[in-house]
Amino acid sequence: MQATSDTKPEGLSPPASTRLNEDGLRRDGRLERLALFGLSSPALILILVILVIPVGWLFYVSFVGADGSFSLENYERMINRKSYRRIFYTTFQVSFLTTGLCVLIGYPLAYFLSQLPDRLANIGLITVLLPFWTSLLVRTYAWLVLLQKQGLVNNWAISLGLWDEPIKMVHNMTGTLIGMVHIMLPFLILPVYGSMRAINRDLMKAASNLGAPPRRAFWDVFFPLTMPGLSAGALMVFILCLGFFVTPAVLGGGKVIMVSMKIVSNIELFVNWGAASALGVVLLVLTMIILWVASRFLKLESLAGGGHG
Amino acid sequence: MTQPTKDALPITVRNVTKTYGPVHALDDVSIDVHSGEFLTLLGPSGSGKTTLLMVLAGFTRPDCGSLKFGDTEVIRPPPHLRDLGMTFQSYALFPHMTVAGNVGYPLRLRKRPKAEIADRVARALDTVQLGGFGDRRIDQLSGGQRQRVAVARAIVFEPRILLMDEPLSALDKKLRDQMQIELRHLHEQLGMTTVYVTHDQREALTMSDRIAVVNHGRIMQLATPRDLYERPANRFVADFIGESTFLDVTRQGDGLAWNGMPLNLGHPVPEAPGLQLMIRPERIVMRDAPGEGFNIFDATATDVVYQGDSYLLHARLKDGTQIALRGPMRGGDALPQAGQPVTLGLAPEDTVVIDASDV
């Protein structure tokens, strides 16, 4: 056969010395970066005005004493007064318990949802998220109505013979925890559900094929792969709890006093902006320390193979 | 569980049916896999080949039927008690464990001593040519390496049966060809009964002792690669394996004829109302003077494609049927131009007559 062909001539690159369009391309790149910065500048300015400046002012005020001069008295008070130590203790206690209960309730629920077929899982997720879209205040007061002495829960339980006397379920720790867990649950379920859905179903089949009974396969394979989602969710819940105000204020009935409530009373009752600011600063610093420690831990976790098969 | 050196086990499948609503994923399937055999389930997607594998592994519960490994009925025991190795299309390696962690997992489940586990993991990794990779993380491995780890994990506990679900489908062609040979060698070396699922007919032909062609939940034919290719039992198998042209033929006297032209046949003709002559592109030749006894077809070339090692000729027979012909390409060979008349010859031993009814 004749090797006739109509292929194009090859090797038509320009000599190495001419670099075509170099200046124009560089200018385009610079303009693109400028445009990107220009687009994000409104957000940057907003953050500066509503976040950086107030937080800076908060810092400043916390170091001003009652006489208007520089002083550490606002911080000394926190260390010396027993009531303050108690408030921090309560804050951490409520946050830990809420996080723990959210994990105990949320993880199995997320597991259940993740095993459903897509359509049912979506419906399930919407029911989990529905309360999310209702006002926080409305939900908190709803619990007040349900849990009070003459409330729905007590009346039904007594008429069903579960207990004889009305049980005190609000204006104490129990009520606070019920309300907090209910409000925080979606924050835990969403990331856990996400990490569960990302697990390749073949992994569980493989474990079982290699000889692992269902429980063993769960702890060896499934659970470790949900750890990134679980720690992210638990961290989110814990940090949100640390600064929570409405629910403990309404359902705690003054018996569960958290840092945020002390900040409010410092301002509203005692008009002591310095003391309130110092509490705010401590809360902020604590949160940042927890986030920092956790982010190192979480990063290691995801390096060890987060989620995807 | 003790792990003495084990012999391969035969697999006996009897009357297994699995329905999903009105769909028969498996329709009364019976099949015998011989001890130590490499058997491939080949079929288009949705044919039921994967369902059958999942029944063997215990992940799909059939409606009815019997499944024996050796003499033991295993249709009811759950997957973790079946003691068979398996590789998955997605490899299914545990991303939170190292390579050694993955390969050692089945041994840890069987509570083997640490030293023995380390030893056997090292040997299994050597077998798949991944010696020294034990400490790597899974996400540091290439697709081909992951495939090898999956194989090592499936063989490290010396199961007597190995199931493989499209193990090579995610690899590029070159690596796939290489892995086919390697898996084949591995099978010869270890000798375990292997059931392999693929939709790639070339892969099936390359690797298998026998191939079961599956369609609509039924076994269409179970035969050696050569028998399957050269003596397909029905139109589906003839169509699915290789490319072919089918010519409607009629009975004429004792023999068959195509468009009134008597055919010189090399094989007995099946009993069926409608018959077709199957012509493989590489079995029909283009020559000015084909050999003696050849069936001669006059045709017109419509399209000629040069493909490097060979050429592909499309031609139109006198009744309008398009026929494909593939021939070897040597330097200096002249190819016909489109529109030129060509003479095609088919040797009697290459005439394959099949039942035309579509199964």
What is the per-residue pLDDT across A9-52, written as a single tens digit (0 to 9) for each?
555 555 556 788 999 999 999 999 999 999 999 999 999 999 99
Nearest CA in chain B to A307: B95
Q: Among B56, B109, B197, B335, which would you mutate to test the A interface (most chain A Cβ atoms within 10 Å of its Cβ)?
A: B109
- Give the total residue count for chain A: 309
* Chain A CB contacts of B57 below 8 Å: 205, 209
Residue at A51 is within a domain = no
Per-residue pLDDT, averaged over A208-228, amounts to: 95
Residues B91 and B209 in one domain: yes
Residues B275 and B227 in one domain: no
* A38, burial (CB in 10 Å: exposed 0-12, middle 13-18, buried 19+): exposed
Are B283 and B346 in contact, with CB atoms under 8 Å apart? yes
Q: Point out the residue among B82, B109, B333 whose CB comes nearest to the CB of A216.
A: B109
Residue at A154 is within a domain = yes
Residue at B184 is within a domain = yes
Residue at B89 is within a domain = yes
* Chain B CB contacts of A217 below 8 Å: 80
CA gyration radius for chain A?
Answer: 28
Residue at B6 is within a domain = no
Domain of A248 in residue numbering reads as 83-303
Residue after which a domain boundary falls, among B189, B215, B235: B235
Residue at A114 is within a domain = yes
Residue after which a domain boundary falls, among B213, B235, B257: B235
Q: Point out the residue among A202, A305, A308 whose CB comes nearest to the CB of B88.
A: A202
- A–B CB contacts, 8 A cutoff, strictly below: 83
Q: What CATH number does the domain containing A88 carry? A: 1.10.3720.10
Angle of helix A82-115 versus helix A173-197 axis, rounded to 10:
40
Residue at B215 is within a domain = yes
Residue at A73 is within a domain = no
Whole-number pLDDT of residue A3 = 47
Residues B197 and B331 in one domain: no
Question: From the CA of B154, how many Å to the nearest CA of chain A?
Answer: 8
Residue at A113 is within a domain = yes
Whole-number pLDDT of residue B174 = 87
Q: Point out the residue among B89, B138, B335 whose CB comes nearest to the CB of A305.
A: B138
Whole-number pLDDT of residue B290 = 64
Residues B272 and B326 in one domain: yes
* Chain A CB contacts of B110 below 8 Å: 211
- Residue linked to tokens 């003077």: B289
Q: What CATH number does the domain containing B252 carry? A: 2.40.50.140
Residues B166 and B26 in one domain: yes
CB contact under 8 A, B92 and A225: no
CB contact under 8 A, A309 and B92: yes
Residue at A3 is within a domain = no
The whole-chain average pLDDT of chain A stands at 86
**φ, ψ of residue B193 in degrees (nearest 5):** -60, 125
Q: Name the pTM for this structure.
A: 0.81
Sequence-separated contacts (24+) of B2-7 with Cβ below 8 Å: B3/B110, B3/B112, B3/B157, B3/B158, B5/B158, B6/B158, B6/B160, B7/B35, B7/B160
Are B8 and B83 in contact, with CB atoms under 8 Å apart? no
Convert the pLDDT of each residue in A168-179 to its tens digit.
888 888 899 999
> In B15-36, which positions are buried (b, 16+ CB within 10 angstroms) versus exposed (e)?
ebebeeeeebbbeebebebeeb
Nearest CA in chain B to A211: B80
Q: What CATH number does the domain containing B170 carry? A: 3.40.50.300
* B335, burial (CB in 10 Å: exposed 0-12, middle 13-18, buried 19+): middle
Residue at B287 is within a domain = yes
* Chain B CB contacts of A211 below 8 Å: 1, 80, 83, 106, 109-110, 157
Whole-number pLDDT of residue B293 = 83
Per DSSP, B269 falls in state: P
Residue at B66 is within a domain = yes
Amino acid at B81: L
Residue B233 token pair: 């039992």
Q: Among A7, A199, A210, which would you mutate to test the B interface (most chain B Cβ atoms within 10 Å of its Cβ)?
A: A210
Per-residue pLDDT, averaged over A241-250, amounts to: 90
Residues B79 and B182 in one domain: yes
Q: Among B2, B55, B74, B80, which would you mutate to test the A interface (most chain A Cβ atoms within 10 Å of its Cβ)?
A: B80
Residues B157 and B290 in one domain: no
CA–CA gap between residue A107 and residue A219 (Å, rounded): 13
Domain of B276 in residue numbering reads as 243-355
Beta strands in chain B (DSSP E): 11-20, 23-33, 38-42, 64-69, 72-73, 85-87, 161-165, 193-198, 210-215, 218-223, 245-252, 255-258, 261-262, 275-279, 284-286, 295-306, 310-317, 322-328, 341-346, 352-355
Convert the pLDDT of each residue in B138-193 to its tens digit.
999 999 999 999 999 999 999 999 999 999 988 888 888 888 998 999 999 888 99
The whole-chain average pLDDT of chain B stands at 90
Residues B253 and B196 in one domain: no
Residue after which a domain boundary falls, among B173, B203, B235: B235
- Residue linked to tokens 């086919």: B180
Looking at the structure of chain B, the number of domains it has is: 2
Q: How far is CA A235 from the centre of its chain?
A: 6
Residue at B5 is within a domain = no
Residues facing residue B249 across a β-bridge: B275
CA gyration radius for chain B?
Answer: 25
Q: How many helices (H) and strands (E) does chain A have?
A: 14, 0
Q: Which residues of B touch A (CB under 8 A)?
A: 1, 57-59, 78-80, 82-86, 88-97, 105-106, 109-110, 137-139, 153, 157, 306, 332-335
What tens-digit pLDDT sequence spans chain B (359 residues)? Answer: 333 345 789 999 999 999 999 999 999 999 999 999 999 999 999 899 999 999 999 999 999 999 999 999 999 999 999 999 999 999 999 999 999 999 999 999 999 999 999 999 999 999 999 999 999 999 999 999 999 999 999 999 999 999 999 999 888 888 888 889 989 999 998 889 999 999 999 999 999 999 999 999 999 999 999 999 999 988 999 999 988 899 999 888 778 888 888 888 888 888 888 899 999 999 998 877 667 788 989 999 999 998 888 899 999 998 889 999 998 887 777 788 888 999 999 998 888 998 887 65
Looking at the structure of chain A, the number of domains it has is: 1
| ipTM confidence score | 0.84
